[in-house]
Amino acid sequence: MKLSKKNIIHLCVLTGIYLLFVLALTRFKYAYGSELDWGGQHYAIPDYFRKLFYKTGDFFPSFAPNIGCGENIYNLSYYGLYSPLILFSYLLPFVKMSTYIQIVSIIGIIASLWIFYIWMRQKFTDNTAFALSFVFLFSAPLIFHSHRHIMFVNYMPFLLLGFMAIEDYFEGKRKYMVTLWAFLMLMTSYFFAVSGLAAMAVYGVYRWLKINEKPTFKKFCKDGTAFAFRLILAVIMACVLILPTLHCMLSGREAGNSHVDLKSFIPGVNLKFLLYYHYSMGLCLFTVLSIISAVFSKQRYRRFLGIVMMVIATCPIIVYMLNGTLYVDPKVLIPFLPLGMLLFGHTYFDIIRGKLKLKPLAVITLLVALAGVFWFKTTKKVEFYIILDFVVLMSSLFVYRRCKKEFILNIGMSLCLVVSTVYANFADKLVPLSELEYDNSSDMNTLADYVGSQEEISRTSNCVDEVNTVNMIYNADYYTMSIYSSLHNKDYNKFYYSEIYNENSYRNTSLTTQTRSLIADMYFSNRYLITDDPVKAVSGYKKIKESGSLSLYENNDVLPFGYATNALIGRKEYNSLNYPYSVEALFNNIIVEDKTEKSFSSDIKKVRSINFTECGQIKREWGKYTIDAKKPFTQEITLPEMLTNNEIMFVSFNVNNDIKGGRKDAWVSINGNKNKLTAPDWKYYNNNRRFEYVITTGQDYSADSVKVNFSDGKYEITNVRCYVIDKDSLVRDVDPFMIDKKTSHGDVINGTIDVKNDGYFTISIPYTDGFTAEIDGKEVQCEKTDTAFLGFKIPKGSHSIKITFTAPLLHKGIVLSGAGLLIFIACVIIDRRKTKASK
The answer on pLDDT for 257 being more than 50 is no
Is it the case that residue 251 has pLDDT exceeding 90? Answer: no
Residue 262 above 70 pLDDT?
no
In the structure, what pLDDT confidence band is assigned to residue 656 with cuts at 50, 70 and 90?
very high
Instruction: Among 183-187, 351-355, 544-548, 798-802, name the one with the lowest average pLDDT.
Output: 351-355
pLDDT digits (tens, 9 = 90+) for 782-815: 999 999 999 999 999 999 999 999 999 999 999 9
Per 3-state DSSP, the chain is made up of helix, strand and coil in percentages (nearest 5) of 45, 20, 35
Query: What pLDDT is recorded for position 738?
Result: 95
- Give pLDDT, residue 260: 57
Residues 6+ apart with CB under 8 A from 300: 209, 215
Task: Assess contact for 153 and 208: CB atoms under 8 A.
Answer: no
Cα(50)–Cα(60) distance, integer angstroms: 12
CB burial class (10 A; 0-12, 13-18, 19+) of residue 837?
Answer: exposed
Kindly state whether residues 708 and 818 are assigned to the same domain: no
The set of residues, in sequence order, having a beta carbon less than 8 Å from that of 188 and lying 6+ positions away, is 80, 83, 84, 85, 151, 154, 155, 158
CATH of the domain at 616: 2.60.120
Q: Residue 286 — very low, low, confident or very high, per pLDDT cuts 50/70/90?
A: confident
* pLDDT (0 to 100) of residue 489: 92
- Which of 188, 191, 163 lies closest to 178, judged by CA? 163
Percent of the chain exceeding pLDDT 70 equals: 96
Is 173 inside any structural domain? yes
β pairing state of 568-570 and 550-554: unpaired
Q: Which CA distances in Å does 783 have to 109, 791, 792? A: 48, 5, 5
Q: Which amino acid is at 566?
A: N
Interval 47-75 mean pLDDT: 95
Contact 573, 567 (CB under 8 A): no
Residue-wise pLDDT for 21-32, tens only, equals: 999 999 999 999
Residues 535 and 609 in one domain: no
Q: How far is CA 660 from the centre of its chain?
A: 33
Instruction: Compute CA distances 834 → 170, 173, 350, 384, whole Å.
Output: 14, 9, 38, 56
Taking only the tens place, the pLDDT of each residue in 562-578 is 999 999 999 989 999 99
Q: Give a yes or no: residue 411 inside a domain.
A: yes
Please give the average per-residue pLDDT across 167-187, as a whole number: 94
What pLDDT score was predicted for residue 167? 94
257 is a domain residue: no
- Taking only the tens place, the pLDDT of each residue in 600-610 is 788 899 888 88
pLDDT band at 254 (very low <50, low <70, confident <90, very high): low
Q: Which range among 190-204, 521-535, 638-652 has the greatest average pLDDT?
A: 190-204
User: Are 521 and 541 contained in the same domain?
Assistant: yes
Lowest mean pLDDT among 28-32, 49-53, 548-552, 835-839: 835-839
Question: How many angstroms separate the CA atoms of 801 and 744, rounded?
Answer: 11
Helix (H), strand (E), coil (C) string for 393-457 = HHHHHHHHHHHCCHHHHHHHHHHHHHHHHHHHHHHCCEEEHHHHHHHCCHHHHHHHHHHHCCCCC
Question: What secondary structure letter does DSSP report for 771?
Answer: E
Tell me, yes or no, whether 364 lies in a domain.
yes
Q: In terms of domains, do 304 and 407 share one?
A: yes
Answer whether residue 353 is part of any domain.
no
Quick one: pLDDT at residue 378? Answer: 60
Which of 677, 701, 730 is where one domain is finished?
A: 730
Say if residue 97's pLDDT is above 90. yes
Q: How many CB atoms lie within 10 A of CB 225?
A: 10
Confidence of residue 400 (pLDDT cuts 50, 70, 90): confident
Domain final position from 730, 756, 773: 730
- pLDDT for the residue 203: 97
Q: Give me the pLDDT at residue 466, please.
A: 87
What would the pLDDT profile of 483-514 be if each residue is shown by its tens digit?
Answer: 998 888 999 999 999 999 988 888 888 888 88
Q: Which residue has the higher pLDDT, 398 or 804?
A: 804
> Distance between CA atoms of 486 and 42, rounded to whole angstroms?
12
- The overall average pLDDT reported for the chain is 90
Phi, psi of 198 (to 5 degrees): -65, -40
Within 10 A of 216 (CB to CB), how many other CB atoms are there?
Answer: 9
- Are residues 227 and 165 located together in one domain of the fold? yes
Query: Same domain for 310 and 276?
Result: yes
pLDDT of the residue at 109: 97
Same domain, 454 and 498: yes
Alpha helix ranges (H) inside 524-579: 571-575
Position 345 in a domain:
no
- At position 818, the amino acid (one-letter code) is G
Question: What is the distance between the alpha carbons of residues 358 and 361, in angstroms, rounded to a whole number?
Answer: 5
Residues 402 and 454 in one domain: no
Q: How many domains does the chain have?
A: 6
Q: Examine the pLDDT at 642 and tell me if it is beyond 50.
A: yes
Size of the chain in residues? 839
pTM, whole model, 2 decimals?
A: 0.92
Q: Out of 99, 130, 151, pick the residue that ends a domain.
A: 151
The pLDDT, as a whole number, for residue 377 is 55
Per-residue confidence (pLDDT) for residue 368, from 0 to 100: 76
Mean per-residue pLDDT, 166-191: 94
**Which DSSP string corresponds to 254-291?**
PP--S---GGGG-----GGGTBS-TTS--B-HHHHHHH
Q: 613 near 638, Cβ under 8 Å?
A: no
673 pairs with which residues across the strands?
Answer: 670
- Choice between 594 and 473, residue whose per-residue pLDDT is larger: 473
Residue 552 falls inside a structural domain:
yes
In a domain, 184, yes or no: yes
Range 173-198 average pLDDT: 94
Per-residue pLDDT tens digits for 668-699 = 999 888 999 998 888 778 889 999 999 887 65
| Residues 51 and 99 both lie in one domain | yes
SS (H, E, C) 439-493: HCCHHHHHHHHHHHCCCCCCEEEECCCCCCCCCCCCCCCCECCCEECCCCCHHHH
Q: How far is CA 445 from CA 274, 275, 437, 610, in A?
A: 46, 45, 11, 42
Q: What are 227-243's pLDDT values in tens digits?
A: 999 999 999 999 999 99
pLDDT at 258: 47
Contact residues for 597 (Cβ-Cβ < 8 A; gap 6+): none
Cα distances (Å, whole numbers) of residue 579 to 388, 513, 576, 714: 56, 22, 10, 27
| Judgement on whether residues 410 and 276 belong to the same structural domain of the protein | yes
Indicate whether 376 and 450 sit together in one domain: no
Residues 83 and 139 in one domain: yes
- The residue range of the domain holding 46 is 1-23+30-151
Phi, psi for 725 (deg, rounded to 5): -140, 145
User: Is the model's pLDDT at 535 over the cut of 80?
Assistant: no
Give the mean model confidence (pLDDT) for residues 152-162. 96
Average pLDDT (517-539) is: 85
Residue-level pLDDT at 716: 95
Angle at 609 between CA 605 and CA 612, to 5 degrees: 155
Alpha carbons 323 and 327: distance in angstroms, whole number: 6
Q: Which residues contact 263 (CB under 8 A, 6 or more apart)?
A: none
pLDDT at 537: 59
Q: Exposed (0-12), middle (13-18) or buried (19+): which is 115, by Cβ within 10 Å?
A: buried
How confident is residue 533, by pLDDT bands cut at 50, 70 and 90?
confident
| DSSP code per residue over 705-770 | EEEEEE-SEEEEEEEEEEEEEEGGGG----EEEEE-TTT-BTTEEEEEEEESSSEEEEEEEE--TT
> How many CA atoms does the CB half-sphere of 200 hold within 13 Å?
34
Give the 3-state DSSP-derived string for 627-687, with helices as H, strands as E and coil as C.
EEECCCEEEEEEEEEEECCCEEEEEEEEEECCCCCCCCCEEEEECCEEEEECCCCCCCCCC
Phi, psi of 708 (to 5 degrees): -115, 125
Q: Is the dihedral of CA 256, 261, 267, 272 positive or negative?
A: negative
The pLDDT of residue 259 is above 60: no
> Over 80: is that where the pLDDT of 552 sits?
yes
Least confident of 249-253, 487-491, 706-710: 249-253
**Using one digit for the tens of pLDDT, what is the confidence trace for 306-321?**
999 999 888 888 888 8
Report the pLDDT value the prediction gives residue 256, as an integer from 0 to 100: 47
